Amino acid sequence: MTPICFQTDADLKQSIVSGVWRRQPGVDFQSANAANFKGKTDQEVLAIAAKDGRVLVTHDRKTMPLEFAEFITTQTSAGVLILSQTASANEAIEWLLLVWEASIPEEWLNRLVALPF
């Protein structure tokens, strides 16, 4: 079974990524810096994550849902997870690890999910 690969966008708290890696070092979680997202639009960020087959992880509830809806009309996305900014880092880490451990990449194609529900 192929594990899910994650991609952070520029607004995701680094403490969440660090916490995921502390708990599960095998999680493939690419940073926004590694993906060269500086100055990129949401559409460009979605395209890069999709090309790399990575589920985008963000806190952006304001613009990302609409941008995602527009994106999937012409392209396939590996998925988007929107983490609540009011959730604790520990709660966000638990959600991401659950997604990573209990699902496969194909389950997230063209899906946007806000966590916690």
Chain segment 52-85, per-residue pLDDT in tens: 999 999 999 999 999 999 999 999 999 999 999 8
Burial zone of 110 (CB within 10 Å; 0-12 exposed, 13-18 middle, 19+ buried): middle
Could you tell me the sign of the dihedral formed by the alpha carbons of 52, 62, 32, 107, in that order?
Answer: negative
- pTM (2 decimals)? 0.95
**Nearest in space to 97 (alpha carbons), one of 10, 33, 34, 16:** 16
For the chain, the straight-line distance linking the first and the last C-alpha, in angstroms and rounded, comes to 26
Range of the domain at 64: 5-115
Number of domains present in the structure of the chain: 1
